[in-house]
Structure 1
Amino acid sequence: MAAYLNTDTWARREAFEFFRGFDQPGFNVCVRVDAAPLKAAVAARGQSFSLACLFIALRLANLHEPFRYRLEADGRVRVHEAVHGSSTVLREDESFGFSYLDHTPDWAAFHTQGQAAVAAARTRATMAEAREAEAALLYFTTLPWLHFTSFAHARTSGRERGIPKIAFGRALAEGPRLWLPLSVEVHHALMDGLHVGRYVQAFEAALAAPEAWLGP
């Protein structure tokens, strides 16, 4: 059975009512996070750094409840039990498609299915799978050519469901650190800077101690 937030008793009710009527209700923050420990950990295992970033980002979204909130057409806020990932994949002809990534707390399982999903997206005739129209998703993209300091996503003028959008940029080595640009865009009716701040802080902590997330 679908679960819904009781917005009548929500401490953020006033902010929810205020921001959901905005023409552009999203806000975006960009930060740099030190990914050197994670890069070293996956390199030692012969695994994908980009999939590891997606794994941690998706795990944290599932652990931070506001990232599982979605706006329904009737105005209710649905609380999804789990959210999954949809990530851009570059093809050989320089077009791109989307890969669907099921959420799992098991890094080895995620890495295996992630490799298969990326390979499928590179050869699929269509841009996306039908599942990528679902609301229980996080949207991911990566710009490995740019060490960006700001970011804006394309958007439609239709109803906004509140799906968070996360972007990664080109990692830049500075001494022992590997600075990775991270952009997080969310719906202000569903969460505030406090919640994004907690998410980013948790992401920084996970990057600093990757073994706790990747397992032995």
Structure 2
Amino acid sequence: MARKEHFQFFNAFEEPFFGVCATVHCHKAYKRAKKQGVSFFLYYLYRALKAVNELEAFKLRVVDNTVYRYTRIDGSCTIMRKDNTFGFSYIPFQEDEQAFYRDAARIVEEVSQSASLFPARAGEGVIHFSSLPWLNFSSVSHARPFKEKDSCRKLLLGNSCRASRVNLCRFPFMDTMH
């Protein structure tokens, strides 16, 4: 591994993540989602997971100080409920876009109707997604237990048509060039 020394250096940090926040103009994507009759949330989730699964660095995780490469990365999203609480979901990525929309919509509905915080299935081979469509932001910090090593990427989208996107990545795997 050409970046072994970099990995070892940053992996020793309490906070080995770095955050990138960018304005992404997604009006065309929003219009395409509406034309297809799918929610914008599922539309961008599919495309984000498709991109993540095409990038080697996004498939790497650290578990017990060992680097693992997952063959597929799935989505773990926060799903808002009518009572203003949320639940975590586990949404498997599928190449077939229509099958993904169908299954993801069913999962979103199940989580929105449940009272459980956690899904029946979870794992390290995911990327954490959250959405705050009512906010436009330029920085964010995610709550997480710092005592536990975490190598899961986190993606947060804000204001839906001009989304602010924050992608937290562990520096041992990625830097500003990767």
**TM-score above 0.5:** yes
Whole-Å separation in 2 of the counterparts to 1:161 and 1:77:
12
1:189 partner SS = coil
- Among 40, 44, 48, the residue aligned to 1:49: 40
Whole-Å separation in 2 of the counterparts to 1:45 and 1:157:
41
- Among 30, 49, 58, the residue aligned to 2:49: 58
Q: Which residue of 1 aligns with 2:103?
A: 113
1:88 partner SS = strand
Letter in 2 for 1:46: G
- Among 109, 121, 128, the residue aligned to 1:131: 121
1:159, distance to aligned residue in structure 2 (A) = 2.7
Q: Which residue of 1 aligns with 2:4?
A: 13
Q: Which residue of 2 aligns with 1:140?
A: 129
Which protein has the larger Cα radius of gyration, Structure 1 or Structure 2? 1
Whole-Å separation in 2 of the counterparts to 1:122 and 1:179:
26
Whole-Å separation in 1 of the counterparts to 2:173 and 2:150:
10
Residue 187 in structure 1 maps to residue 170 in structure 2: yes
- Among 76, 92, 99, the residue aligned to 1:86: 76
Q: Which residue of 2 aligns with 1:161?
A: 150
Letter in 2 for 1:148: F
1:150 partner SS = coil
1:30, distance to aligned residue in structure 2 (A) = 0.4
- Among 39, 42, 61, the residue aligned to 1:70: 61
Percent identity for Structure 1 against Structure 2: 31
Q: Which residue of 2 aligns with 1:175?
A: none
Q: Which residue of 1 aligns with 2:16?
A: 25
Q: Deviations over 1:58-96 (max 9, x none)?
A: 1111110111101021x2210011111010011111010
Root-mean-square deviation over aligned CA pairs: 1.1
- Structure 1 runs (4+) deviating above 6 angstroms are none
1:98, distance to aligned residue in structure 2 (A) = 1.3
Q: Deviations over 1:17-56 (max 9, x none)?
A: 1000001111111001111111111111221111111111
Whole-Å separation in 2 of the counterparts to 1:131 and 1:26:
25
Whole-Å separation in 1 of the counterparts to 2:120 and 2:27:
36
Whole-Å separation in 1 of the counterparts to 2:89 and 2:6:
34
TM-score (norm 1): 0.80
Q: Which has the higher helix share?
A: 1
1:144, distance to aligned residue in structure 2 (A) = 1.1
1:101 partner SS = coil
Whole-Å separation in 2 of the counterparts to 1:130 and 1:69:
23
Letter in 1 for 2:50: R
Contact preservation (8 Å) 1:99, 1:120: no
1:163 partner SS = coil
1:107, distance to aligned residue in structure 2 (A) = 1.2
Q: Which runs of 5+ in 1 are unaligned?
A: 1-9, 172-177, 196-216
1:161, distance to aligned residue in structure 2 (A) = 3.2
Q: Which runs of 5+ in 2 are unaligned?
A: none
